[in-house]
Chains A and B, each alone.
Chain A
Amino acid sequence: MGNHQLTSLIRMANQIAANNTHIGDDIAEAEMVADHMTKFWARSMKVQIREYLEQDGSELLPIAKQAVALLKH
């Protein structure tokens, strides 16, 4: 498996996080980002971004990182 999808997913996660920073509460913001991913991302995308967080996660913004951690297995 290459990295095209993962590169996109990191970018997407960060972009969702960047657009949901208005609440002023990290946990609520992370929940909002996680909820968005849960509703709109394919299973394979969620699995891949979780695996990335577990292995590295360095390119994810803090809120995105928290959000990915909230995604259910």
Chain B
Amino acid sequence: MIQIFDPKVDYNKDYGTPAHVSENLITLEIDGKSITVAEGTSVMRAAAEADINIPKLCATDNLEAFGSCRICAVEIEGRRGTPASCTTPAEAGMKVTTQNKRLGKLRRNIMELYISDHPLDCLTCPANGNCELQDVAGEVGLREVRYGFSGENHLQAEKDHSNPYFSFDPSKCIVCSRCVRACGEVQGTFALTIDGRGFDSKVSPGQNQDFLDSECVSCGACVQACPTSTLMEKSVIEVGQPEHSVVTTCAYCGVGCQFKAEMKGAEVIRMVPYKGGQANHGHSCVKGRFAFGYATHEDRITKPMIRDSIDEPWQEVSWDEALNFAATKLRGIQEKYGRDSIGGITSSRCTNEETYLVQKLIRAAFGNNNTDTCARVCHSPTGYGLKATLGESAGTQTFDSVMHADAIMVIGANPTDAHPVFGSLLKKRLRQGAKLIVADPRRIDLVKTPHVETHHHLTLRPGSNVAFVNAMAHVIMSEGLEDHDFIAKRCQTEAFNAWRHFITEERHSPENTEAITGIPAAELRSAARIYANAKNAAIYYGLGVTEHSQGSSMVMGIANLALATGNIGREGVGVNPLRGQNNVQGSCDMGSFPHELPGYQHVSDDAVRARFEAVWGVKLDNEPGLRIPNMFDAAMDGTYKGMYCQGEDIAQSDPNTNHVHAAMRALECLIVQDIFLNETAKFAHVFLPGSSFLEKDGTFTNAERRINRVRKVMPPLAGKQDWEVTQALSNALGYPMNYNHPSEIMDEIALLTPTFSNVSYEKLEEMGSLQWPCNDDTPNGTPIMHLDSFPIGKGHFSITEYVATEERSTRKYPLLLTTGRTLSQYNVGAQTRRTENQVWHDDDVLELHPQDAEDRGIKDNDWVGITSRSGETVMLAKVSDRMQPGVVYTTFHHPHSGANVVTTDNSDWATNCPEYKVTAIQVIKVNEPSEWQQRYHEFHQEQIGHLHSARGDKRSEPVAGK
């Protein structure tokens, strides 16, 4: 069932059962009141929509009705007994009574039974003030418990504090099963069950395990669902119930979940997923739900700092002094080395408004187009590939669209780890029967998870994506599975004919490409038929598609598949890039790339530039600027000397660390704006303290093109929001910026960006969120793109010749390394390493197949040296049959693990997105850290010393560099 935006819904109210969407409306009478609801709505929800609130315990509106507690019993005219209102669908003409003496007595009797086995410690209970059991006891008028309290009970049941974020107190449990159902229905993990029967019934994680040892993924759905204090956040246990809340948007992945930041004064007590969040509908993952403690971690740097050389200690200075120091340095460099000798990097973690300001600063105040963003290293091929084929650099659907998909192909993405809330929705659809194809070298969780089993896991070899996608298209075209009508009506004929000629060549057949991809031809054929024959087929992809030397070709190949099968322009279909960071889509939209002004408008377009020049009051360069890797090269060559880097840790995240670090050292002025002294800041001359998402106003744009509001819930620790810092730097450079609020920046964005022209903070308040394009043609935004036409008129089939990467396994480097992320950590780990999420992943490990391990005499937890042509590092080994022989895997969440010391400078031919997913390596057993790691440790100690000198303190070193 798809929940749609309905302004009548009060997202702070629990309607008891989920909303139903139906064109058929029915009218019934409840307590004498005539009520019209959608067919399929429960009596409980129908009543709640009319503000008739039937007491309930086991019902909550993000779970299907269960009917176990019987508190919600009602009388229905002409029917016998007292049916549960949660499980009874409303029917036309029904006459329902929700309150009378008989029902009151029934409810009190039930409550007496519940309370006879429940501690009476309400005043000291953590749920006091927010307990549904307490509320219902009040509502039904419970005055006595005739059974007494001395009988057999569960009051001494042992508590489980194993999870770092919440406690489990079974003595408070009423066995309503809401937690069990939330874990299954909402999260799709099925880690909880009710163990035992009758009086012995109890909630059990795994097989009577602690929460931490069970399959629980700490999404928090059970805690949220619990009507008592059985499952309770430790923060609430410690400090009590919050007193106010603010709705804001998560700053982790590209799903863009909305949360209620529940506060006590300026302190966040807990983050509760917001039911009105149009990307998450009240669900969350362990990161967004719990891992926000980094925002107030002691490592936060809250004072500006400067130094002339990275060999010197930092000096804490005033904002004015730091900004003037930075401005003087930048202008000095430009005078000496030329206008193009400086540039900057915008952040995909900061807001749209902040990103817009940084690129504006670079273009208008620096006077060049040397702006780039971390999207360069993740989804730049998406922008290129989708613009070339579909005419817009963005995914085509809403997340909810997946609930209409009949076949789902996941390529190079690991949604249950990297986009967990979408992963849960996807699993829900799969449990309803949609077919799943996974194309991934590694056996990700989605391949086999409770009640979900993929139809085909295509274990393709790293680097063979384009051969694979061409083979899929070959099957579709050679077996006549294409959508002739769609192609004729919606696609460019000449391009299609050329592509058809290309793709039907026998060399692309699965049989001929099997030697390249490693995918058995019959299996690939079967997968292609599933995709092409489904009524609605959708493709979801991630960095396993983009981070290759043919990343852009692969994106185009995916778009070709969707065009050929007519899977574009309606619910349940489409091409869906899963964006890594919270605002990757937004940072691209906001003109962060060196060749494009906001809204993907090319800098060489005179008319476009003229509009920007008129508003910005400066002449703009009509040539693209440098991309991040070109900046590094130019720095090494001595032509690029100054850089402003906001909220991005290029020294850890970018490939070929030795090269990146050498480039950083070659800079005369590196300005880092961040919340922590990250790896890049160790090479910096100016440190401008940033603000976390909790300390600022703005917007993030998620992977669905959805613009969500970010709202300030606490004052910025350093006194300025990030946009204020950029503005102040611009003013120090002599280019005036005078915004009073990010809403004014958004107004300027709307003025200059045709796809944003109707976006404003007022409209966002009214609608909750907006999916661009949002302009006069689509005033309330565009949930599904390309309904009738493409921005380029007709869809363009692009020819995608497979070109093997230069990075291939050899006798010296026989294994292929591919990198990714885990559920509990995020990107470079700067945030999550400063939370209790460390419990789950406190170090990066190298996963390798048992055969590869045995060949090298490697066992679990052995130290292994990993060598590529770029460098060498050492990690712990984890032997895992998730891997196929010849392919190994690691993450880059911890700086000292040096995953990117090994990755190479190979990159996508069109966008220079690095080829993180293919590195030829050798692995051997070792006894000590690598030389790089020893050098890293020394440099880290030195830089932490420089930080401590500035602060005059001797406290323990930041977690960052452990």
A residues whose Cβ falls under 8 Å from a Cβ of B: 1-5, 7-8, 12, 15-16, 18-19, 21-22, 36, 38-45
Contacts and interface: CB of A to CB of B under 8 A. Distances in A.
B619 to A, nearest CB: 15
A21 B801 contact: yes
Contact of A40 (B624, B632, B633, B634): B624
Interface residues of B, number: 33
A12 B638 CA distance: 20
A15 B629 CA distance: 15
A72 B192 CA distance: 66
Given A3-B637, A15-B549, A19-B553, 5 more contacts: A5-B630, A8-B633, A12-B909, A39-B602, A39-B604
B171 interface: no
B370 A42 contact: yes
A42 B626 contact: yes
Nearest to A45: B630
Interface of B: 340, 369-370, 502, 549-550, 553, 594-595, 602, 604, 623-627, 629-630, 632-634, 636-639, 799, 801, 803, 905, 909-912
Given A8-B633, A19-B910, A39-B602, A2 B624 contact: no
Contacts of A8: 629-630, 633, 905
Contacts, number: 72
Highest count of chain B CB atoms <10 Å: which of A3, A5, A21, A42: A42
Contacts of A39: 595, 602, 604, 624
Q: Which 4 A-B pairs have the closest CB atoms?
A: A5-B633, A4-B636, A43-B623, A15-B909
Highest count of chain A CB atoms <10 Å: which of B594, B627, B634: B634
Contacts of A42: 340, 369-370, 594, 623-627, 630
Contacts of A5: 630, 633-634, 636-637, 639
Contact of A44 (B549, B604, B634, B801): B634
Contacts of A18: 803, 909
Contacts of B549: 15
A43 B340 contact: yes
A42 B627 CA distance: 8
Contacts of A41: 624
Nearest to B663: A4
Highest count of chain B CB atoms <10 Å: which of A8, A12, A16, A18: A8
8 contacts: A2-B638, A15-B549, A19-B550, A36-B910, A39-B604, A39-B624, A42-B627, A44-B639
B622 to A, nearest CB: 9
B496 to A, nearest CB: 14
B637 A2 contact: yes
B262 to A, nearest CB: 46
Contact of B595 (A7, A40, A44): A40
A22 B638 contact: no
Given A5-B630, A42-B623, A45-B630, A19 B637 contact: no
A19 B630 contact: no
Contact of B638 (A1, A16, A21): A1
Contacts of B594: 42
A19 B909 contact: yes
A12 B629 CA distance: 11
A19 B910 CA distance: 9
Nearest to B369: A42
Nearest to B635: A4
A22 B911 CA distance: 19
Contact of B637 (A1, A16, A36): A1
A15 B806 CA distance: 10
Contacts of A21: 801
A43 B629 CA distance: 15
Contacts of B340: 42-44
A22 B624 contact: no
B801 A19 contact: yes
Contacts of A1: 637-639
Highest count of chain B CB atoms <10 Å: which of A5, A12, A36, A41: A5
